[in-house]
């Protein structure tokens, strides 16, 4: 089963110097803590968010999965 690679997402975000607040804004979330819940695995990323994530993180969408 394919799962979202949370470690890769965090690592890539940090490599690009993108804050959680910036990610939240780009994803249309109301606040940074909402994004934090996704990145820490407390909430699951929806399929609709994945193409946006790939664009923000400048990577192929396949890299977001294990």
Average pLDDT per consecutive 10 residues, the chain (66 residues; last block may be shorter)? 93 98 94 94 94 97 96
Structure token digits, residue 27: 């994803």
Domain extents in the chain: 6-64
Tell me how far CA of residue 37 lies from CA of 9, 41, 44, 60, in angstroms.
Answer: 13, 6, 8, 23
Strand partners, 20: none
Tell me, what's the pLDDT at 2? 83
Tell me, what's the pLDDT at 22? 97
Phi/psi-derived region of residue 28, left when phi > 0, alpha when psi is between -120 and 50, beta in every other case:
left
Does domain 6-64 sit in CATH 1.10.3720.10? no
């Amino acid at each position: 089963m394919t799962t979202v690679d949370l470690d890769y997402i965090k690592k890539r975000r940090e490599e690009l110097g993108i804050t959680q607040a910036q990610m939240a804004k780009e994803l249309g979330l109301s606040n940074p803590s909402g994004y934090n819940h996704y990145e820490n695995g407390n909430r699951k990323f929806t399929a609709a968010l994945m193409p946006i994530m790939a664009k923000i993180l400048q990577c192929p969408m396949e890299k977001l999965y294990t």
